[in-house]
Structure 1
């Protein structure tokens, strides 16, 4: 159970922050950057949701995603121990990835096929979902970089989750654009 009585602790005044294990690391540590980007993506999704009053099914999906992103933040801020057993730490699990794939397929099934790349825009919800998508891609890159660092581990389902989430946010942006009707399509060389 999370209990936050005091918001400031002054423990980060020296440029460090605490991981879920209690270890202190510098605030520019790749692990901290990764879960910071996950948090940023979550905030961008929250802004997009403000514009989804007419799309309750999509809003419900994104509500679940926001909770999953807190799970992912907990996963990333708690480095895996060598002797970690199932349930010792909150981790992203394959079922969460599978759920995203199901949601992608369901939303995409209501959209017409694309004939061009889509520019971020159309409706406010779609524009914010595109922003969230790009933040997810950054978080994914940071997670992959972390997973390739010496003595660092990131669970495969966590990386898969971020990869699928950016796909979901792309499809969600089209869904929020009147099921693709208000998509702004790229016109190659159109600005010449």
Structure 2
């Protein structure tokens, strides 16, 4: 159980932060940037949930994802392998990404087929899910870079964050009346100076 009594410790006043293990790192460290961006994605999903009152199934799904994103943050904040005999670190498991795939497949069945790329927008829920999707993609890019620099980073974390961005795209379309109210890109529409 996590217990947080004191909110400020002053230990980060020198620009460093503590990880689950290992020496303190700069707050500008790539690993810190990666799990910080996962936290940002989680917050974006929290904003999206403000618009799910009429969609309780979707709200429950997003709540589960928020919990999984804390798992992912803990995973990324725990560098290196576990010491022999130590309790196992909290890691993202392949089953968590597989669950996302099941959600993608299930929700995608009812969607209107796409004829163009989708512009972020439509309903307030769809718009906020697109924001969460793009933040998730940024987190994914950082995890890719982290794995390049620190190859012992859990590869399942990358798979999870990749699938999550795909699911958020699908859910944004669900929020737009299963794609009926998607805002589609029209390539070159305003190149001739047609105004609106």
TM tier, smaller = over 0.9
- Give unmatched runs, 5+ long, in structure 2: 192-196
Q: How many residues align?
A: 191
Whole-angstrom CA distance in 1 between matches of 2:86 and 2:98: 19
> How far does residue 84 in structure 1 lie from its aligned partner after superposition?
6.0
Question: After the TM superposition, which residues 38-117 of structure 1 pair with which residues of structure 2 at under 5 Å, given as runs?
Answer: 38-81=38-81, 83=83, 88-117=88-117
Partner secondary structure for residue 50 of structure 1: helix
Report the CA distance shift for 1:8/1:98 in structure 2 as closer, same or farther (over 3 A). same
SS of aligned partner of 2:51: coil
Cα offset for 1:86?
9.3
Q: Which residue of structure 1 lines up, in the alignment, with residue 194 of structure 2?
A: none
Residue 165 of structure 2: aligned partner: 166
Gaps of at least 5 residues in structure 1 are none
Stretches of 4+ aligned residues off by more than 6 angstroms: none
TM-score by length of 2: 0.93
Q: Is the 8 A contact 2:81 2:152 kept in 1?
A: no
> Given the alignment of the two structures, is residue 4 of structure 1 paired with residue 4 of structure 2, yes or no?
yes
Q: Deviations over 1:29-81 (max 9, x none)?
A: 00000000000000000000100111111111111000000000000001122
Single out whichever of 177-186 and 7-16 deviates more from structure 2.
177-186
- Using the TM superposition, name which of 104-113 and 25-34 deviates more: 104-113
CA distance in 2, matches of 1:59, 1:182: 20
Question: What TM-score results when the alignment is normalised by the length of structure 1?
Answer: 0.95
Q: Which residue pairs with 1:17 in the alignment?
A: 17
CA RMSD of aligned residues (A): 1.5
Q: Which has the larger radius of gyration?
A: 2
| Partners of 1:143 and 1:159 within 8 A in 2 | yes
